[in-house]
Amino acid sequence: MNLMIEGRKAQDASTELAMLATEQKKEALLHIAKLLRESTEEILAANAKDVEKAIEKGVKDSLVDRLRLTEARIDAMAEGLEQITELEDPVGTVLAQWKRPNGLRIKKIRVPFGVIGIIYESRPNVTVDAFGLCFMSGNAVILKGGSDAITSNLALGAILRRGLADCGITEDAVYVVEATDRETTKQLMRLNRFVDVLIPRGSANLINTVLENSTIPVIETGTGNCHIYVDVKADLKKAIDIIINAKTQRMGVCNACESLVVHRDIAAKFLPMLAEALAPYSIDIRADEEARAVVGSFSEATEEDFGTEYLDRIISVKTVGSVEEAIAHINRYHTKHSDAIITKDCKAADLFLRAVDSACVYVNASTRFTDGFEFGFGAEIGISTQKLHARGPMGLAELTSYKYQVVGNGQVRG
């Protein structure tokens, strides 16, 4: 199929969307939420086809569960849209303004990106969530979901478009790509002329494919090899609580802790506490030689372990002699997502905050707080691990760019 036509339509739509009043956007989202609830049967019927196909293909139960919609899940999508209407509209904010000696008045104003492309995997709720955030921030969106959820995604897309049309807004504000072949995905990743930014959401594999092939600016999200450093002056009880939370509260998420760094002078006391505390969770603790000399039951960590995001019941342990050494180790192996220090020493905390090169750096708190809702943004489209544009949790404002409006009275350059 030819995405050029849909790309151009989305771009044309984006001009209209950029100028919608906040109230118009809110009304449309509320209407669409209502429409989604009213269309529960239609959505469930479409979803049943995807689920049936997945079961036939022998897809794992956990993946079938991700794919499956229920009345409650549809209601949650609708509620999600309603919540978005309570957020502040970032569009139009004056970020700065000044006057030049030649009389030119310059205003720096927040504007939508224009067209956002989102490439994602199985969960069909992303179709509605991503649309909601993109729409509220004034962007058109092209959604390319996984092939296993295609019937559900297309049904949801049709409802979104119908809802927009009901409100007199161009339905080209959202387009769900029908084709699921690789060629179409590749085409989308090269649609520079029409798409301003591409956000992949899903596995490391998906994200790498997009980085590899896209000529559109990408916001890299997701991979988190998050570290917790237990300093010589740590409250060891707090350290254990935080590690248990960061490692075990949810294993498969990007802000879970994957790597521990422990000061050698507390290792003899702390590591046995750690072994005992993690025992009920069946965590495989892979440690360096020094740590294994303290707790013989730890398994061996290789160089590769220190750089791995396990998303599983495994954690690595590295012993160091100072906060500086901890920082150097973390900056070498982390994914610049979230890292924490546990200490009562203000100097060590301050150095750690400044020197660790991550989106979110913590003192005495769990890395699990790296999240748009936990940060108070009221929404989250993803967690950026790159430094260009947005870093860390991305809310509505992170889905915008800016422009300069310059007003003169005939000025020319000398």
**Window 239-278: residues binding its own copies (CB under 8 A):** 241-242, 244-246, 249
Nearest CA to 277 out of 339, 228, 319 is that of: 228
Among 172, 220, 231, 288, binds its own copies (CB under 8 A): 220
- Residue 158 CB, shortest distance to its own copies, in Å, is 28
Q: Give least dist CB 112 to its own copies, A.
A: 9
Distance CA 70, CA 152 (A): 12
Reduce the secondary structure of 1-52 to three states and give it as a string. Answer: CCHHHHHHHHHHHHHHHHCCCHHHHHHHHHHHHHHHHHCHHHHHHHHHHHHH
Does 97 sit near its own copies (CB under 8 A)?
A: no
Identify the residue whose tokens are 């507390």: 266
Q: Which two tokens stand for residue 213?
A: 């092939």
Residue 225 in contact with its own copies, rule: CB under 8 A: no
Please report which helix (H) or strand (E) contains residue 204, including its range: helix 204-213
Q: Which amino acid is at 306?
A: F
One residue of 391, 394, 395, 396 binding its own copies per CB under 8 A: 391
Torsion angles phi and psi, residue 174, rounded to 5: -140, 135
Interface residue with its own copies, options 80, 132, 163, 392 (CB under 8 A):
392
Does 375 participate in binding its own copies (rule CB under 8 A)? yes
Q: Which stretch binds its own copies (CB under 8 A): 30-38, 152-160, 210-218, 270-278?
A: 210-218
CB distance 315 to 278 below 8 Å:
yes
Structure tokens at 244: 């248990």
Pairing of strands 140-144, 174-176: parallel
The span from the CA of 87 to the CA of 398, in Å, is 13
Cβ nearer to its own copies, comparing 272 with 408: 408
Shortest gap between Cβ of 270 and its own copies (angstroms)? 16
- CB of 40 vs its own copies, minimal distance in Å: 31
User: Shortest gap between Cβ of 402 and its own copies (angstroms)?
Assistant: 6
User: Which of 42, 184, 325, 369 is in the footprint of its own copies by CB under 8 A?
Assistant: 369
* DSSP 8-state assignment for residue 259: E
Map the footprint of its own copies across residues 107-136, applying CB under 8 A: 111, 113-114
Binder of its own copies out of 4, 5, 94, 353 (CB under 8 A): 353
Task: Give the DSSP per-residue string, 114-171.
Answer: SEEEEEE-S-THHHHHHHHHHHHTT-EEEEE--GGGHHHHHHHHHHHHHHHHHTT--G
Under the binding rule (CB under 8 A), the answer on residue 339 touching its own copies is no
The Cα 43–Cα 8 span in angstroms is 28
Which residue reads 């009920």 in tokens? 280
Q: Does 55 bind its own copies (CB under 8 A)?
A: no
Identity of the residue, 76 or 375, whose beta carbon is nearer to its own copies in the bound complex: 375
Query: Does residue 185 interact with its own copies by CB under 8 A?
Result: no
Task: Indicate the residue type of 39.
Answer: S
Least distance in angstroms from the C-beta of 161 to its own copies: 22
Tokens representing residue 237 in the block: 């009880």
Instruction: Copy the structure tokens of residue 140.
Output: 């058109």
Q: Residue 343 interacts with its own copies (CB under 8 A)?
A: no
Regarding 322 and contact with its own copies (CB under 8 A), the answer is no
Mask for 149-178, x = binds its own copies (CB under 8 A): ------------------------------
* Piece of the chain touching its own copies by CB under 8 A; list 49-57, 99-107, 155-163, 168-176: 99-107
Interaction of residue 308 with its own copies, rule CB under 8 A: no
Q: Does 35 bind its own copies (CB under 8 A)?
A: no
Minimum CB separation of residue 150 from its own copies in Å reads 28
Q: What are phi and psi of 227, to 5 degrees?
A: -110, 145
Residue 186 contacts its own copies per CB under 8 A: no
Q: What is the DSSP letter of 358?
A: S
Question: Shortest gap between Cβ of 220 and its own copies (angstroms)?
Answer: 8
| Residue 306: other Cβ atoms inside 10 A | 22
Strands 105-112 and 94-99: antiparallel
DSSP tag of 301? P
Query: Is residue 104 at the binding interface for its own copies, with CB under 8 A as the rule?
Result: yes
In whole angstroms, the minimum distance from the beta carbon of 15 to its own copies comes to 6
When asked if residue 357 is in the footprint of its own copies (CB under 8 A), the reply is: yes
